Amino acid sequence: MEDQDFESIVTSHWGGGGARPPFQRAHSSPPLALICSSQYMRLESDGHLRLHQWSDDENQWLESDVMEISRHCDDSRRPCWSNGEYMMSGDCAYPKVCGEYGICTNGQCTCPHESNTNSNYFKPVDDRKANLGCKPLNPISCQDMQHHELLMLTDVSYFDNSHAVVNLTNRNDCKQACLKKCSCRAVMFRYGQNDSNGECFWVTKVFSLQSIKPEAAHYNSTAYLKVHLSPSRRYNSTAYSNSSSAPTPNKRKVILAITVPTTSILVLLLIVAILYLQRKRKYEDSDEDSEFDNLSSGMPLRFSFEKLRECTKGFSQKLGGGGFGSVFEGKLDEERVAVKRLEGARQGKKEFLAEVETIGSIEHINLIKLIGFCVEKSQRLLVYEYMSRGSLDRWIYNCHNNAPFDWCTRCRIILDIAKGLCYLHEGCRRKIAHLDIKPQNILLDENFSAKVADFGLSKLIDRDQSKVVTMMRGTPGYLAPEWLTSQITEKVDVYSFGVVILEIISGRKSIDHSRPEENVHIIYLLQEKARNNQWIDLIENNSDDMVSRQEEVIQMMKLAMWCLQNDSSHRPSMSTVIKVLEGTISVEADIIQSFLNANSAMSVQDKPYPYSVREASILSGPR
Binding-site residue numbers for ATP are 340
CA dihedral 279, 280, 286, 289 (to 10 degrees): -170
| 460 touches 432 (CB < 8 A) | yes
Closest CA to 321 of 417, 416, 391: 391
Closest CA to 148 of 80, 224, 57, 88: 224
- CA distance to 232, 378, 396, 464, 613, per residue, from 562 (Å): 62, 44, 22, 25, 31
DSSP label at 217? Answer: H
| 603 touches 527 (CB < 8 A) | no
HEC assignment per residue over 285-321: HHHHHHHHCCCCCCCCEECCHHHHHHHCCCCCCEEEE
CA–CA separation, 194 vs 473, rounded Å? 10
Closest CA to 615 of 200, 28, 207, 107: 207
HEC assignment per residue over 141-163: CHHHHHHEEEEEEECEEECCCCC
CA–CA separation, 129 vs 108, rounded Å? 11
| 461 touches 489 (CB < 8 A) | yes
Half-sphere exposure of 123 (CA within 13 A, CB side): 5
Active-site option among 65, 436, 454, 493 = 436
3-state DSSP percent of the chain in helix, strand and coil, to 5: 35, 20, 45
Residue 611: Cβ within 10 Å count: 15
| 104 touches 210 (CB < 8 A) | yes
Active site residue 436: yes
Closest CA to 559 of 573, 539, 540: 573
HEC assignment per residue over 454-515: CCCCCEEECCCCCCEECCCCCCCCCCCHHHHCCEECCHHHHHHHHHHHHHHHHCCCCECCCC
Helix axes 574-581, 550-563, angle to 10 degrees: 170
CA–CA separation, 323 vs 338, rounded Å? 14
CA–CA separation, 461 vs 442, rounded Å? 22
Residues 6+ apart with CB under 8 A from 111: 101, 102, 103, 120, 122, 123, 124, 134
Q: What are phi and psi of 224, to 5 degrees?
A: -120, 115
Sheet architecture: strand order including 325-332: 301-302, 370-376, 379-385, 335-342, 325-332, 318-321
Residue 80: Cβ within 10 Å count: 17
CA dihedral 117, 118, 121, 126 (to 10 degrees): 130
Catalytically active residues, by annotation: 436
